[in-house]
């Protein structure tokens, strides 16, 4: 065998090996999480689309999605802060709407997407998202209470805890209004600019005064 022929044989063997390697790699199951992406900021209560793509994974495989908190801040050492399973047994559609629950503390997280043939889960193909952040919602949910007053009247009051700048009132005579918080030496007091309408609340009691003479139009009101 001459030298050139030997070199040719060696090159052919190497080429076959390389081709076989890339063929094997190309057929290997893989997955990638597209969103959330690194640096995304999610707000609790918002709806977010988790997206992923798969390669060489049967269309009949199911998908589970998990969430994991990462430092900082320091993580809880004992117990479980939240359920790490977000979804299980989803079809492999490449996306899933997710409402960000208020059970997740503010902080940094990653989403894990797992593909598997059936339950019990074995031989999974797994990928994780980039690190994203969950923030608490700044929306204040009002606390609505009802006061039963004399003369079969009633006051429905919506208080905004932590943002106590006004109260929303619904009166049994059909009126609805938003009344600003006013200075008070005792209890909570809400009044319009000229103080011809004043709503007083102290503990489980309330009353309303109206007009220039501050007549009590809703009196002896007790929390229902």
Residue 192 in this model has a pLDDT that exceeds 60? yes
C-alpha to C-alpha distance for 220 and 3, rounded to whole angstroms:
112
Same-domain check for residues 190 and 119: no
Residue 19 pLDDT = 45
Residue 113 pLDDT = 97
Same-domain check for residues 155 and 95: no
Instruction: Give tens-digit pLDDT for 65-86.
Output: 999 999 876 666 555 678 899 9
Instruction: Single out the residue in 100, 135, 170 at which a domain terminates.
Output: 135
Residue 24 pLDDT = 45
Which are the contacts of 188, defined by CB distance < 8 A and separation ≥ 6?
164, 167, 181, 200, 201, 202
Region 37-50: mean pLDDT is: 92
Lowest mean pLDDT among 56-65, 155-164, 193-202: 155-164
Same-domain check for residues 66 and 86: yes
CB 82 within 8 A of CB 103: yes
Residue 27 pLDDT = 80
Domain count, the chain: 2
- CATH at 63: 2.60.40.10
Same-domain check for residues 128 and 198: no
Residue range(s) defining the domain that contains residue 193: 143-223
Inside any domain, residue 213: yes
Specify the pTM. Answer: 0.54
Share of the chain above pLDDT 90, in %: 63
Inside any domain, residue 208: yes
Residue 12 pLDDT = 59
Residue 119 in this model has a pLDDT that exceeds 70? yes
How would residue 138 be classed by pLDDT, with cut points 50, 70 and 90? confident
Which are the contacts of 203, defined by CB distance < 8 A and separation ≥ 6?
187
- CATH at 178: 2.40.128.200
Residue 23 pLDDT = 43
Residue 22 in this model has a pLDDT that exceeds 50? no
Same-domain check for residues 122 and 182: no
Residue 110 in this model has a pLDDT that exceeds 50? yes
Q: 155 has which bridge partners? A: 147, 171
């Amino acid at each position: 065998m001459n030298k050139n022929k030997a070199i040719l044989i060696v090159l052919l063997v190497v080429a076959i090996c390389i081709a076989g390697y890339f063929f094997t790699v190309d057929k290997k199951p893989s997955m990638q999480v597209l969103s959330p992406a690194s640096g995304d900021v999610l707000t609790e209560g918002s709806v977010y689309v988790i997206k992923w793509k798969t390669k060489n994974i049967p269309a009949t495989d199911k998908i589970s999605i998990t969430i994991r908190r990462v430092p900082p801040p320091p993580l809880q050492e004992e117990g479980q802060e939240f359920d790490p399973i977000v979804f299980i047994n989803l079809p492999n559609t490449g996306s899933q709407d997710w409402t960000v629950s208020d059970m997740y503390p503010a902080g940094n997280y990653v989403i894990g997407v797992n593909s598997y043939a059936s339950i019990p889960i074995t031989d999974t193909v797994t990928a994780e998202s980039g690190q994203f952040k969950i923030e608490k919602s700044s929306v204040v949910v009002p606390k609505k209470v009802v006061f039963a007053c004399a003369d079969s009247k009633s006051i429905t009051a919506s208080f905004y805890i932590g943002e106590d700048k006004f109260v929303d009132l619904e009166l049994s005579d059909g009126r609805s209004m938003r009344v600003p918080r006013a200075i008070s030496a005792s209890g909570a007091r809400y009044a319009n600019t000229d103080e011809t309408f004043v709503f007083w609340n102290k503990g489980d009691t309330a009353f309303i005064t109206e007009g220039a003479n501050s007549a009590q139009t809703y009196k002896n009101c007790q929390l229902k």
